[in-house]
Amino acid sequence: MLIGFMGAGKTTVGNILANLANLPYIDIDEVITSEQGMSVSDIFAKYGEKEFRRLEHEKLKELANTKAVIATGGGIVLNPENRKVLKNTYPVIYLETDPEVFMNRLKGDTTRPLVQQKSAEEIRAIFEPRIAHYQDSADFIVNTDNRNQQEVATAILAMLDK
């Protein structure tokens, strides 16, 4: 299970890991948007963040014990029940990313409602309260700042093989 803030590389790294491990790749946000027939931004606009978080929680519980590489949205750790499911179900890998790095990666992003049209200070205010939850939920922490996605995937596989 890959967790981390937006722009950490969860989707790309997840796909690489799935290919290397010969497992399916599941992105919880993609499953939700596919089932709802609308983007995360549209779900937020139409139903609000609270409803999206409810859908996210339900999908996490549904996928528990599925043999796959799974990536989550950056806010899944906000719910204590989600953190409990994460800790009790999968090896959890936190893709740690410095705010300057992910803010650079997120420039011009129009698909993530929590960072659209936000200043660096506003994005930091969203990110910083999550750090402790990411760290507490993680079995492994992999810093992604100075690595490409292949290097991150290789580091994860090496950790999991120990």
Strand ranges (DSSP E) for 23-137?
Answer: 25-27, 69-71, 93-96
Q: Looking at residue 58, what is its pLDDT?
A: 96
Q: Is 124 annotated as a binding residue?
A: no
To the question of whether residue 48 is assigned a binding role by annotation, the answer is no
Contacts of 106 (CB under 8 A, 6+ apart): 6, 7, 112, 115, 123
**Range in 100-104, 109-113, 150-154 the model is least confident about:** 109-113
User: Rounded to 5 degrees, what are φ and ψ at 74?
Assistant: -65, -20
Q: What is the pLDDT of residue 127?
A: 84
Report phi then psi at 113, rounded to 5.
Answer: -65, -25
**pTM of model > 0.75:** yes
Confidence of residue 98 (pLDDT cuts 50, 70, 90): confident
Q: What is the mean pLDDT of the chain?
A: 88
11 is in an annotated binding site: yes
- Tell me which of 60-64, 72-76, 78-82, 106-110 is least confident: 106-110
- pLDDT attached to residue 18: 95
Phi, psi of 14 (to 5 degrees): -60, -45
Q: In terms of Cα–Cα distance, which of 28, 31, 33, 30 is closest to 44?
A: 33
Q: Do the annotations mark residue 110 as ligand-binding?
A: no
9 is in an annotated binding site: yes
